[in-house]
Amino acid sequence: MDIDNISGHEFEDLVEKLIKELGFITEERKRSADGGIDIKAINEKPILKGLYIIQCKRYSSTINESIIRDLYGVVTSERANKGILITNSKFSKQAKNFAKNLPIELIDGDELTKLLEKNLDKKFNKTSKEEGMPEECRIVYEYLEPEEKRINKRRRDIINKRIYLEPKFYNNFNAYGSFFQNKTEKIPQLAEVLVNQINNINNIWKSFKENKINYKDVSELKKQCNEIVKTMNFVENEYENLISTNPPENLIGVHKAIINMYNPFFNFFSDFLFRLSLTEIEDIENPKLKKYLTIKNGKKVIDMNLALSFEEEQKTFNIETEKLSKKLSKNNTAKGKNCFIATAVYENIDASEVMKLREWRDNVLSNNLFGKLVINFYYLIGKYLAKFVYKSVILKKVIKYFLDKFINKKLDAK
């Protein structure tokens, strides 16, 4: 790359591309007098975090000490982390001596050429997913791709036993029940959060204009990417919590079905990144890619409207829970059955408390899969537990205390 035969503005543009490639966010530049600032760059990484003032000098002569003094004055007034002077030329001995022990970095033509070859030339010559990608898509792709790779590697390491997860055991349905309910309730909540985050990203990059990407847009975009990273890490933690859990033997099928309910989140995440990487498509006739294409203003473009679907996983889940429900109930229904333990406690099958509990069972608990499983399990053990309750005055009083509390708080309150 010949940095000596380009204009001053072209030199600034080139330096800005390099700065972005090195992980900085740059503010929109002004072509007029800038008060000694060519580029304001922000670094958001730990330790390096802060403002950097960058001056670009395409000179034919050596850079002297006075120019470095001016830069140092700007760094001080702007309270920046560091000032960086980048040139195609050389620095005088006096300039180098002045910059020593100050928050000033000097990059001459030779060092700049090496940086360009290492970062920009390599990028522009490679045939990677990022080639030809619009800046806003590239920002999201570069920010999220490492996270996807990290999660997938961790999953492989867990499967191959390179990472050990402490197992948790549940010996009966009651012990497993609240865990089961907690995990199933989180799935629709997580789906809503992730879809909202993707929509936010779509809305932000609609404000991007060609060659006029400003710091505010980039910051908002990275902020939303960070939110997605948090969500995916939360999903991964939930997933690992599930695969390290050992349910009761008769619930293994249902448990596996819940684990699979978390897979669409990662498929959705990977699909989103894949679509970003397809923004410039040559092989538009490839049948694998056609499903991602749509026609807009007569042109074939990538369809970024994503849908988070659990259809197949929900079918499997329904089949497994139905199997278990039939197995537990032995083809009997709960409606009309007596509440064994409640009857033992209140000593009357027609007691108002027993009737309230029976009504709650039939009209509330039986309306969802988890409730049905609880009811069926209860009727497998209820008769036997009721015998102990009848014989034990203390046990009867303890259960009555909790049942009264439940009825007053949950049932009578309605």
Decide: 235 and 259 in contact? Cβ < 8 Å: no
Is there a domain that residue 367 lies in? Answer: yes
Q: Are residues 85 and 146 in the same domain?
A: no
Give the three-class secondary structure for 342. helix
Q: Are residues 208 and 250 in the same domain?
A: yes
Of 28, 34, 104, residue with least CA distance to 63? 104
Structural domains in the chain (count)? 3
Q: Are residues 345 and 228 in the same domain?
A: no
Is there a domain that residue 183 lies in? Answer: yes
Task: Look at residues 96, 125, 154 and tell me which one is the last residue of a structural domain.
Answer: 125
Is there a domain that residue 288 lies in? Answer: no
**Ramachandran angles phi, psi of 300, nearest 5°:** -85, 120
Q: Are residues 219 and 142 in the same domain?
A: yes
Is there a domain that residue 277 lies in? Answer: no
Q: Are residues 236 and 186 in the same domain?
A: yes
With the CA atoms of 18, 20, 25 and 30 taken in that order, what torsion angle do they form, in degrees rounded to the nearest 10?
50
Placement of tokens 């002045």 in the chain: 98
Is there a domain that residue 322 lies in? Answer: no
Q: Are residues 90 and 16 in the same domain?
A: yes
Q: Are residues 406 and 338 in the same domain?
A: yes
Is there a domain that residue 291 lies in? Answer: no
pLDDT tens, the chain, 414 aa long: 568 778 888 888 889 889 988 888 887 666 555 556 889 999 888 888 899 999 999 998 999 999 999 999 999 999 999 999 999 999 999 999 999 999 999 999 989 988 888 887 554 433 344 555 667 777 788 888 888 889 989 988 998 888 999 999 888 777 787 788 788 878 888 888 988 898 888 888 777 755 456 667 777 888 888 899 999 999 999 999 999 999 888 788 888 888 888 888 888 888 888 777 765 555 455 665 666 666 666 665 666 667 777 777 777 877 777 776 666 555 445 455 567 778 888 888 778 888 888 888 878 877 766 677 677 666 656 666 777 677 777 777 778 877 888 888 777 765
Q: Are residues 166 and 113 in the same domain?
A: no
Q: Are residues 143 and 262 in the same domain?
A: yes
Decide: 386 and 341 in contact? Cβ < 8 Å: yes
Domain that holds residue 368: 332-411
Helices in 244-349 by DSSP H: which ranges?
252-260, 263-277, 287-290, 311-329, 340-346
Of 37, 373, 20, 355, residue with least CA distance to 218? 20
Decide: 396 and 345 in contact? Cβ < 8 Å: yes
